[in-house]
Chains A and B, each alone.
Chain A
Amino acid sequence: MESLHARYPFFESAREAVDDAAVDLGELVARGDAPAVDRAVERVTAALTEGDVGAPRRRTRTELLSYPVARVLVSLVDEPAVTRTYAQAEAATAVERIRADVTENADLSYGSGGEVSLSGLLSEFGLDDAVEPVAGEDAYRVTVTAYLRLSSNLDGDAWRLNRRELADGEVPVERDELLVLLRQAIEDRVADGLPLSVPDAIADALTDAVGRVEEVLADIDVAVDIDRVVPELFPPCVHALLERARDGEELPAHSWFSLCSFCAAIGMDADDVLELLDVAEGEDPVLAQRVRYGLERVAGERGVEYPLPSCETMDAYGDCVNKDDLCADVQHPLSYYETRVESAGD
């Protein structure tokens, strides 16, 4: 088993590796405490609470096997919102890894880790004939039919075909935009076939694991009771994230998710967030798109909102910065804001 497969478990070759290893999924899950099942639960719960699939395990085998098990878990929970949120989280994590693994070179060379190349990714999704690099630029041309398939679920006018520079059947996209399109391809791949029909024996063996996912689902708070937007009162961690985003930094998925869920929790919509970031929709369509996507993801369906991570989790991600006195008294960035808003009075 290669570490590449653990990093990109939705690859066709990863699926084959699982097959080749002749792992009996039934046997694996029957040992309820197997690390792969644990990791699978984490994949799904992290998707629900953090918008990513959690930190990878060191063992390739555990990491790789946890992916098919996670798909089974999602199938057993059988909630469309959960399935979608999970697929989005796998895709978001994968894109972060792609950003790290694939070099900036437009010549599609192998990444610094020797793990994955952009051309390899494109061919993984049958897009090698559909995407072509533009010589001398960090840009690509995508055939119009592939562009339509991958962009039609994306929000934001900037993705609408009639605003693109369509010529001779090809749509020029920037590198960041290509990654958004790839994210869509990954999300489709992860969601493909879900929910699976799961044999009873496996379902029985996974009862506990499913219970753990459902517990997290039940714990997910409904919207917090603050709907005032007073940026001066935001906690320092959110301030810092906002600053970085304003400076044009592309925040890592977990940080971005934290920022979006904070904004969503206090009742902001995408336009409000864009205003807070000082960008107009048309000015930075990629960022605008990320905002919409981020907010959509944290909002979930059926009005359930996934709140942002606790102070502890923020700290674990290195996003807990510039602590002040109040920080010592709270466990959650939202409590910080709540306290500040209350003490600011009307």
Chain B
Amino acid sequence: MEERTVAYLRGAFKRHYEATEVSPPPAPNEREWGYIPWTAQAQTTMVRHRSWLDVGNLGRFLTEERPQHVYFSAAQYRDPSANSMGRKDWQGTDLVFDLDADHLPGVDPEETTYREMLATCKDALLDLLSVLEDDFGFEDCTVVFSGGRGYHVHVRDDGVHELGRGDRREIVEYVLAEGLDLDALLARELVDGIGLENPTEKRTLSTTGGWGKRVHDRLLALVDEVRAMDDDEDKRERLQAYDGIGEGSAEKLVEVFDANYDQIAAGNVEVHGRFLTLARQVAAETFDAESAPIDEPVTTDINRLIRLPGSLHGGTGLTVERIPREDVAAFEPLVDAISPVFGDESDDALAIEVTEPVTIELADDTFTLEAGAETVPEYVGVFAMARGHAEIAKQ
């Protein structure tokens, strides 16, 4: 990146910070702060182990330093500016989750556009929030667009601060539904055998909580869906879509759905041999559909630094945007995370020198930039330069 481009972006970031009030996380004085200054070299060094005292007034710090990237620790310490983790004296850590569009299963970054990747990532975010809110009962969740390729969730409910790495690892396993299959979720209950001397065992799925309930909900929804179909042919076809279920089994299952509906609704999976075959596959579907592919080390590393909400992401020029919970579903990162100070829509707002042809999706539009001189809306120019595809035009 040319010096003149660095100078331009620093200026642009200063305008952003002058126009925006960035609010610090709770207990900012107990956190470690870090940032990466703007430099022309690709190699960057993070300035770490800063205390809130070093930062001073956050607004003034951001306006004066206008760093490329700004971070704070999810952890709180007695002495956050000590140079080693041991001396910092750990007090606790927010529970943090990171979803990165680069690492979503089934998403090939080569084949998928930025907008599509972010959309898939937001679906994963909604899955994550469902697990955190419904299963874990967390109420203090801050949802943040990272400004780059994904989303962060900061959880600060009572009791999470003290959790160690092992505890966090278990939370990760839960969110990922790691190592689970139907059998792991079945409870065994002894029931009196009818006409038998010995009681028999039946295996049931939970109807009250955990992944067991999630699998059960989905299984029951399938049963309800099939029962609601008018045409017997349709019913069979729907069930034959599953492995190991032929026409005969499908027919039998349709009968079992009606005859044993109450049992099924109560969680019993042993109503018929083929029902287990079906339930195993529905369980796998459930894990795929409702788990969230979070980045494990971000959650388990209790000393992690994380982007400051409200700051700008130096690799895109987009805002690290805090999203009110009720706005998450409608959030459009490539529209809503554009800093208002770069919002000039006019096509000739900014003259840049494209060094690498690129297609940029921003706002509701797509911009195809050819190598050479171009004039673009400022947010497109900032994005292209921050990503390293362009330099600011020579004066």
Interface residues of A (CB under 8 A from B): 130, 143-146, 148-149, 152-153, 157, 160-170, 172, 282-283
Contact = CB atoms under 8 A, between A and B. Distances in A.
Interface string B182-224: 0111101000000000000000001011111100000000000
B178 A146 contact: no
Contacts of B163: 145, 148-149
Contacts of B159: 130, 143-146
A169 B178 contact: no
B171 interface: yes
Contact of B174 (A161, A167, A168): A161
Contact of B134 (A143, A157, A168): A168
A282 B212 CA distance: 15
B135 A149 contact: no
Contact of B136 (A149, A157, A169, A282): A169
B248 interface: no
B162 A167 contact: no
Contacts of A153: 166
Given A161-B173, A165-B213, 11 more contacts: A145-B163, A152-B170, A157-B184, A161-B170, A161-B174, A162-B174, A162-B210, A165-B206, A166-B135, A167-B213, A168-B135
Contact of A165 (B134, B171, B212): B212
6 contacts: A148-B170, A149-B167, A152-B167, A161-B174, A162-B173, A166-B210
Nearest to B209: A167
Contacts of A168: 134-135, 137, 209
B297 interface: no
A250 to B, nearest CB: 18
Contacts of B86: none
What are the 9 closest A-B residue pairs judged by CB atoms, nearest first?
A169-B137, A167-B209, A145-B159, A165-B209, A148-B167, A165-B210, A168-B137, A162-B174, A152-B166
A144 B160 CA distance: 9
B256 to A, nearest CB: 25
Contact of B211 (A130, A162, A283): A162
Contacts of A143: 159
B179 interface: yes
A148 B162 CA distance: 11
A167 B208 CA distance: 7
Contacts of B11: none
Nearest to B206: A165
Contacts of B178: 162
B323 interface: no
Contact of B210 (A146, A149, A157, A163): A163
A144 B206 CA distance: 17
A44 to B, nearest CB: 28
A164 B184 contact: no
B138 interface: yes
A166 B135 CA distance: 6
Contacts of B104: none
Interface in B33-59: none
Interface in B107-154: 134-138
Contacts of B186: 282
